[in-house]
Amino acid sequence: METFAALAAIFALGAVQRFVYGFDHRWMRNRHDALVRIHQGTFDAVGSGWWVAAAGAIGAQILCFILWLILADNLAQQAPRLAAHIVAFFTMIGVLAMCLEAAVLHLTHRRLVRQAKTD
Across the chain, mean pLDDT equals 80
Provide mean pLDDT across the span 52-65: 85
How far is 94 from 33, CA to CA, in rounded Å?
21
How far is 96 from 112, CA to CA, in rounded Å?
24
How far is 86 from 72, CA to CA, in rounded Å?
10
Per residue in 15-53, pLDDT (tens digit) is 888 888 878 777 777 777 777 776 555 555 545 567 777
How far is 102 from 48, CA to CA, in rounded Å?
15
Helix or strand (DSSP H, E) at 75: none
pLDDT at residue 49 in the model: 67
Provide mean pLDDT across the span 67-96: 89
Q: Please count the residues of the chain.
A: 119
Q: What percent of the chain has pLDDT over 90?
A: 11
Q: What are the structural domain ranges in the chain?
A: 3-118
